[in-house]
A and B are shown apart, each in its own frame.
Chain A
Amino acid sequence: MNPRTRNGLIVIGIALALLAFFVFITEPEGVTFTSEKNAPTVQDEDPHIGTEDAEITLVFFGDAVSEASGEVAGLLNRLLENETNIQVIFKDYPNNSLNEESLAAAIAARCAHAQDAFWEYHLALTEQREVLGEEVYTSIAESLDLKENSFKKCREDLDIASYIADTIQEGQDLAVAGAPTLFLGSQRISGSLSMNDLEVWINSTVSE
């Protein structure tokens, strides 16, 4: 072996050994809770409430069986009655661990959405959240004049459950702790809100 080759091997050997050493002593990074994605994606299938080409789009991760989520749904309904420059996109965020009717209620509302009655159905669910069950799902559908057979068939459609699973996954990818959570762009706020809280948050976020 000539001296040049030997020196080259020495340098490479030391470099590799040092590289391996530093890789070995470097501690792995801990769990990070920071989500790479920071804003929800609006899908055509998501229920739209309010003026479709409105200036401000709120994305609402909601759950009909959650008291706080029901309160925020009521606030949004009042807000939409007075504001034409706001639309709300609804994302299902049920938690069946907290309430075993959570997913069933979300599916029923999605099937009402198939007959263009999502928001009315969702608001009716929030008002009866303590007594949810088959009878309530059917009676709300009847009161909204939904086609009975279509509604029933839809509720058995596994694609609906799959779609809701996707929105849950989207919420988890965004590190949404629970419903209600509102997004305006990448800004968000969770939990119970007063109308004043909601308006202040929207105005301050829009002005940023």
Chain B
Amino acid sequence: MNDRIRIIVGILLLTITASFIAFIIYWFLFRNPPAIVDTGQETEVTDNAVGGLTGSGESDGTATPDAADQDDIDTLVGSEDVITDTPVQLTSSPVTSATLTADGTVAYYDSGDGRFYTIDENGNIVLLSSTQFPDAETIVFSGDAEMVAIEFPDGSNVLYNFEEEEQITMPSHWEEFSFSGDSDEVISKNITVDPSNNSLVVTSTDGSHTEIIADLGTNADKVTIDWSPDSDVVGFSQTGRAQTGFGREQIFLIGTDGEALGYIIVEGLAFSSSWSPSGDTLLYSVADASKDFRPTLWSVDVSGNDIGTDRDRYGIETWVEKCTFQDESTVYCAVPREIENNEGLDTDSIDSPDDVYRLDLDSGLAILIASPDLDYHMFNLSVTEDGETLYFTNERGYLNRISLQ
């Protein structure tokens, strides 16, 4: 072996060795830790513990969802008079956390001055509060947009009531917030240095009462807090038992006492969801392995004893983040004109403009109602109660509206 070959072989060996060392570092330092329970083993259900509910597979509900309990609705995709107008651009720069209010205006956070405003369909901007919250990182409005939870980059958190003009400081080790349906309480993750102290905490929005409802342990990143409009469910725990079938997942609904209210079975990865106005139905999307990880849209009954039953899969390919409820059975969704395989795994990966469909959850009929003449990527949709105006932010974060009449 001459010197040149020896050097090349040496470099190759070095590269392999370095890659191996890098992999070891990744594996032990950066990889997400395994769930406490993910082997499908039965464990005791413990009160006040998400760890118990996440691994038990037990449900308080009488219905037992299974993988076969589903209907594939061959969504009838029709079209009526399709709106092709260019959407009206309401703002000339990005706005943050645009949220439809009860009076039909849209509330948003202006990162330029740290204040909250509303804007109406004619573009008239009104100050929601003169109080400034500069450099906010995360904004979560209550359902009626009368309150807001603000997270700052330094970890500090604030609840602000626009009506009362009152501000409550939350502990800095609390992360993520979701308001109850009546906005009287807010749930958060209490994330501590010692994972054994991690928990779900509920506090009244006037700051008078705080309660730990469940331990999180090392499963904090597998729990999504999203309080239902009827206030029965505070979030989801993606630590169910392993399921037969690739990508199938058991997801628990967490009750207000941290108990398992029941579970749903989803047929794919990248689960995300949205509550119907009553909280009886959950609309969700997953990346379905059997569909080459394209996004699939589903609904499931999550009311009372029927949790996890009556699953329906719809024919339009989109993510639940691109959908909004008008009422209990009417949903408006932005649907990408083109979707590639594997794009269901990541909403950021899509690079196609959207059309707007109206989906009837009862019949499965999806009607194309708007196909703007310019290319728009639509996010953060909301529709007025009368169904006349659809608001959305485009890929640049600018707020737009489409008249649906």
- Tell me if B397 and A192 are in contact (CB < 8 A): no
Interface size class of B (residues with CB under 8 A): 35 or more
A contacts with B, residue count (CB < 8 A): 41
A60-104 CB mask vs B (1 if < 8 Å, else 0) is 000000111000000000000000000000000101011000000
Interface of A is mostly: mixed
A170-183 CB mask vs B (1 if < 8 Å, else 0) is 01101111101000
Q: Give min CB distance, A92 to chain B, whole Å.
A: 11
Interface of B is mostly: mixed
Residue in A14, A95, A187 whose CB lies within 8 Å of B14: A14
B46-64 CB mask vs A (1 if < 8 Å, else 0) is 0000000000000000000
Chain A residues with Cβ under 8 A from B102's Cβ? none
- Tell me if B115 and A98 are in contact (CB < 8 A): no
Cα distance A189–B116 in the bound complex, in angstroms:
10
Supposing A9-B14, A14-B17, A93-B92 touch, asked if A191 and B126 sit within 8 A by C-beta, the answer is yes
Q: Give min CB distance, A190 to chain B, whole Å.
A: 5
Cα distance A17–B17 in the bound complex, in angstroms:
9
Supposing A14-B17, A21-B26, A171-B92 touch, asked if A187 and B113 sit within 8 A by C-beta, the answer is yes
Of A30-38, A105-113, A134-142, the segment with at least 4 beta carbons within 8 Å of chain B is A30-38
Q: Give min CB distance, A181 to chain B, whole Å.
A: 8
Which A-chain residue is minimally distant from B16 (CB atoms)?
A: A17
- Tell me if A175 and B19 are in contact (CB < 8 A): no
Residue in B89, B111, B130 whose CB lies within 8 Å of A197: B130
Is A13 located at the chain interface by the 8 A CB criterion? yes
- Tell me if B127 and A197 are in contact (CB < 8 A): yes
- Tell me if A177 and B17 are in contact (CB < 8 A): no
Q: Which of B's residues lie within 8 Å of A, judged by CB?
A: 3, 6-7, 10-11, 14-15, 17-19, 21-22, 25-26, 30, 86, 88-96, 108, 110-113, 115, 117, 119, 122-127, 130, 135, 397
Some 24 contacts from A to B, beta carbons below 8 A apart, are: A10-B14, A13-B14, A13-B15, A14-B14, A17-B14, A17-B18, A31-B397, A33-B397, A34-B111, A34-B135, A35-B112, A66-B123, A95-B89, A98-B122, A168-B92, A171-B93, A175-B110, A177-B117, A178-B90, A190-B110, A190-B117, A190-B125, A191-B124, A197-B127
Q: Which of A's residues lie within 8 Å of B, judged by CB?
A: 1, 6, 9-10, 13-14, 16-18, 21, 25, 31, 33-35, 66-68, 93, 95, 97-98, 168, 171-172, 174-178, 180, 187-193, 197, 200-201
